[in-house]
Structure 1
Amino acid sequence: MTAISAGIALVFFLLFVASRRRDARRFRNGVFLLMAGGFAVVALSGLLVAAFPPLVFVFVVAAVLVPVLVLALAVFAIANGVTMLRSEGRSLGNLLSLLVGVALIGVPFVVVVLVETGRRSSVPALQDVTFGLGVVVVFVTGYAALTFAAFTLWSLVYARPRVREQPDALIVLGSGLIRGEVPPLLRSRLDRALAIYRATPDGVRRPVLVPSGGQGADEPRPEGAAMAEYLIAQGADPADVHPETESRSTRENLVLSGRVLTDAGRTGPTLVVTNNYHVLRAALLARDTGSSADVVGSPTAAYYVPSAFLREWVAVMVEHKLLNLLFVAPFVVLLASLLVYTRV
């Protein structure tokens, strides 16, 4: 078992290295890395238990504590959801952490109810249906947990501070303004871009700055205009600031900013700057739009991070809903077929 786990871990690690080298801006990198790490832990655990048999007691205790850890995570998620609602206002995005906390408690309860209902029923068909529904709920929940873990893992790895080459342009993705002014969340993106801009070596052409964002229904002016004002106030040369003020989404940020760069004659390496929780989704969108731009992240307030990662994960899953359906649907069909087969 240990050798098999180690072999599987090695295969996933090699897949990760190859995929990472080909394009770091892919969600599957996180899946490969997570699977490699998971099977490596299983293999290492087997080796440790074989060398020191008393350690099996530690792993048994750890397994027993899993429900307690899940409950603690649920309490944390609910508390974070309440903080988000109080600090950021009521919206579906701000509710995500709270909903996940409730789900962590509610899903096991639903599965137990389904299985128990089937067990107590004298109708064989109902027993099969409730058992099947319970298995589907467990599978879908596990799939969601694994994809979220892979998304979060690769987001954190990919977003680590780095600038591989001197950029010719810096695109700063917009977010909402508050009363027409740059709020702390957006300011962290602009400050990160300014730090890279100021670090330009002597004798090298400075990158242009493209603050990108249109005007929302509740905003008195375009985000790009407010961002450009902030950049110039912080010392950026006005000639280096080329605001983009028409975009309404991250995809439009990237596409329209690319046109601004083309008009400015800047076709060299481009860096996109956003908050760390948004890096991977922005990178996926950059890849989808045909851009070669890399993405770097800036710090985010700690209380905002859980809900932000959840929101980005949901957005990626929705954007790739057909692919996710292709993964989940065969399992559901197989389960239904097995239930029918056992009833014949």
Structure 2
Amino acid sequence: MLSLALGVVFAVLYAIYRDKDPRLLRNGVFLTAAVAFGVLGVLLIAAPHSIVAALLLGLIGLAVPVSILVFGIGLIRNGFTMMKKEGRSLGNRLSLLLGIAVLALPLISIVLVMTLQLAGLLVATLIAFVSAYASMAFISFAVYSVVYGRMRHRIDPVAIVVHGSGLAGGRVTPLLRGRLDRGIQAHHAEFSRGNRVPMVPSGGQGSDESRSEGEAMAEYLREQGVPAELILPETRSTTTAENIRMSTELLAKRGAPGPILLVTSDYHVLRTASLARRMGIEAQVVGSRTARYYVPSAFIREFIALIVENRWVSVVALLPFCALLVTLAISVLTLG
């Protein structure tokens, strides 16, 4: 009953804060907790009366060790796929490295406990706490990224800004084409509602690019039938923050301040939305689909970037775990 009650509480918190601002990162935590506690609570209540519910509870108990094994192996396989298709950069090796860590940390913890006894137990406990926090935070981030990216937003944008993502031979890549097509879809949806909003293809020129991303993106939009007078290229930005800031400055100079709709890849929507909120920009974000093999590494990269950007929040969140570990160590030493 307690688990179900917690699920209801988290569901209410999710509804309240999503209505307040769907870009809040805490929404993902509330949503994930609501689903987890809600499902667990229903199964606990039903288990004495249903063999199916009891069986599902047993499977949940087995899910942790099995998921570690499956998740670790899956990440390692994805890492090799990424390096084969995208190259051997550090970013493309993230899923491989994380997969190795997922499989290695439980073994390291066991060895520490067996060899160092009390000290090993404390270190293993710390590893477990940090791993549990990282796992829950990542699941919340991934779940809410998908939910937020599919959400219907309640704004009337003055413009649709499409974020760049690099060119290949001066032409848009499949990844960037997906963003542009999603932007065109949003443009048509606004037009059907009577809103003739401009599109801002946003991106500067990289050191290895023959022209700016904004210019190449504008060319693609014209080829797809978007009226030239509704295309306002932004050609100087090199980061997501600059995409947002320089695009809003461009619109303000043209007398079109107001809420904007940002378009990026599905794995990038939540960090983009969080960044826009911190910048004080009235904006919502929609995402384009990404190739399946690219998704794990992309979400890992975005999660790491989000943790770095909100590092003090992560530190504060880990303090209770550290305090509990210190208390446990003092208690053990005192009893010893």
Aligned counterpart in structure 2 of residue 309 of structure 1, from 289, 299, 314: 299
Moved more, 152-161 or 61-70: 61-70
Aligned counterpart in structure 1 of residue 278 of structure 2, from 269, 274, 288: 288
Aligned counterparts, 1:236-315, within 5 A: 236-315=226-305
Distance (whole Å) between structure 2 residues aligned to residue 6 and residue 203 of structure 1: 42
Counterpart secondary structure, 2:262: strand
Q: Which amino acid aligns with 1:22?
A: K
Aligned counterpart in structure 2 of residue 115 of structure 1, from 105, 113, 116: 113
Distance (whole Å) between structure 1 residues aligned to residue 284 and residue 193 of structure 2: 24
Residue equivalent to 2:50: 52
Alignment CA distance shift 1:326-1:61 (3 Å): closer
Alignment CA distance shift 1:139-1:55 (3 Å): same
Does 2:3 match 1:5?
yes
Aligned counterpart in structure 1 of residue 75 of structure 2, from 77, 82, 91: 77
Query: Cα offset for 1:77?
Result: 1.0
Alignment CA distance shift 1:91-1:223 (3 Å): same
CA deviation profile, 1:76-120 (whole Å, cap 9, x unmatched): 1111111111111122221111112111211110111111113xx
Aligned counterparts, 1:218-233, within 5 A: 218-233=208-223
Counterpart secondary structure, 2:200: strand
Does 2:22 match 1:24?
yes
Residue equivalent to 2:40: 42
Distance (whole Å) between structure 1 residues aligned to residue 287 and residue 55 of structure 2: 42
Aligned counterpart in structure 2 of residue 145 of structure 1, from 117, 125, 135: 135
Alignment CA distance shift 1:201-1:227 (3 Å): closer
Does 2:186 match 1:196?
yes
Please tell me the root mean square deviation across aligned C-alpha atoms, in Å.
Answer: 1.8
CA deviation profile, 1:119-155 (whole Å, cap 9, x unmatched): xxxxxxxx33211100000000000000000001110
For the 8 Å contact 2:259–2:281, the answer to whether it is kept is no
Aligned counterpart in structure 2 of residue 321 of structure 1, from 299, 311, 335: 311
Residue equivalent to 1:93: 91
Distance (whole Å) between structure 2 residues aligned to residue 322 and residue 102 of structure 1: 27
For the 8 Å contact 1:161–1:297, the answer to whether it is kept is no
Does 2:157 match 1:167?
yes
Unmatched 5+ stretches in structure 2: none
Counterpart secondary structure, 2:8: helix
For the 8 Å contact 1:172–1:272, the answer to whether it is kept is yes
CA deviation profile, 1:127-186 (whole Å, cap 9, x unmatched): 332111000000000000000000011101010163545432000001011122100000
Counterpart secondary structure, 1:273: strand
Q: Which amino acid aligns with 1:7?
A: A
Q: Which amino acid aligns with 1:143?
A: Y
Unmatched 5+ stretches in structure 1: 119-126
Identity of aligned residues (%): 43
Query: Cα offset for 1:343?
Result: 1.6
Residue equivalent to 1:102: 100
For the 8 Å contact 1:271–1:296, the answer to whether it is kept is yes
